[in-house]
Amino acid sequence: MPTPPPPARLALEDGCVFTGQAFGDLTPRTTDGEVCFNTSLTGYQEILTDPSYAGQIVTMTYPLIGNTGVNDIDLESRKLFVRGFVVRELSNAVSNHRAARKLEEWLAAQHVTGITGIDTRALTRKLRTDGAMKGVLSTMPREEVSDKQLVEQARLSPGLVGINLVETVTQRKTVRWEQNLGDWAPIQGKVLRDNKRMNVVALDCGAKLNILRNLVDSGCDVTVLPYDSTPQQIMEHKPEGLFISNGPGDPAAVAQTIDTLKQLKGKLPIFGICLGHQLLGLALGASTYKLKFGHRGGNQPVQNLHTQKVEITSQNHGFAVEVDSLEKVGGEPTHINLNDRTLEGFRHKSEPIFAVQYHPEASPGPHDARYLFDCFVTMIRTGKSPTGHDMDLAQRARNKPEVAAVAGAS
């Protein structure tokens, strides 16, 4: 008979304690983090390797997790950055031909602890009602650490506000990124381009690898630099455009990158995604604020304010840019979230700067938002931020069958 898994507890700062079974790394310990939830039905491997989850304990709302196992291809970074993983039921069978190992084996190898067997519906409802909370995930015996002590540890944990988590996920080396989408690139959704490629520097604030692949696939030669690279270090690479990646935590705490963007404003075209969106907003002089429970999932509806079209988007963020403050410094909203009307994209009216809060590389639509990479390339060529009309044309080009057919045959 296999040894039964040890008990595990998830304690929240409000005094609530959930008890279940541990999986993954079973070492007796207590780990703190902000407890959040993700509503995606699949893609747990990409979620676990998204550096934007650094400092967080992630809850999956879909009840059965682990049935597709883990493979060596669907990774979004070099390691797992989540502090813990919460599921309703861990599948005891793996039934995907691409699987190389079980989820729990992978988590154990990456030293990440999960908890299964708790009521994730009740936990999610609590987080939606009361907001994201600080919590601790513990595999310590109750006789050694009481529930009361765990709750107190959760209350005293640092949380996310005011902490620069980007420095914990960025790569410290300069990397020339050459991998494109390969076999994953759809024929439908390619666009015709000339042979001139754009020289782009990408600041790694916790970049998902598929973003870099999309940049290459859209006609960019990409050099990845650490998030705290100075303007001089960036300009040494003679970039024609600058990309600011996604990443974890409070954007206001990433002061060095904000200062760098202030200095580079007007000197070259800049495109930001997720945390990059927030950092650009702050660099322009706008303000950011923490969302009640954030946007995390693969089905967030976002409306293009110019065309009124709705894109189904993948998102993972807990902060947002305040619209009124953005408009006062020359920013113009381009996209809005239809669930709560928060800002999802903006352009600068006079400078070649634009950004989106969601993830156009993550294929939820599956290709609703991939045109934004083409907008970046066009902005580099024209020196002007894309208008709503420009974005509409780029999206139409991505969806034009005759363009896709020619591009696929070339």
Active site amino acids: 274, 359, 361
Task: Give me the residues paired with residue 65 across strands.
Answer: 90
CA–CA separation, 382 and 287 (whole Å): 29
Where are the extended beta strands (E) located within 286-352? Answer: 288-304, 310-321, 331-337, 343-348
Measured at the alpha carbon of residue 377, what is the angle toward residues 77 and 223, in degrees to the nearest 5?
Answer: 40
With beta carbons less than 8 A apart as the criterion, state whether 64 and 91 touch: yes
With beta carbons less than 8 A apart as the criterion, state whether 172 and 215 touch: no
163 contact partners, CB below 8 Å, separation of at least 6:
55, 249, 250, 253
Number of residues that make up the chain: 410
Q: Is the dihedral of CA 309, 313, 318, 319 positive or negative?
A: negative
CA–CA separation, 246 and 314 (whole Å): 12
Phi-psi region of 330 (alpha: psi -120 to 50; beta: other; left: phi over 0): left
Backbone angles phi, psi at 113, to 5 degrees: -100, 140
Looking up tokens 């006062």 gives 328
Q: Cα dihedral angle (115, 295, 371, 199), rounded to 10 degrees? A: -70
Closest CA to 380 of 299, 291, 267, 277: 267
With beta carbons less than 8 A apart as the criterion, state whether 336 and 342 touch: yes
CA–CA separation, 61 and 230 (whole Å): 41
Q: Quick one: DSSP state of residue 254?
A: -
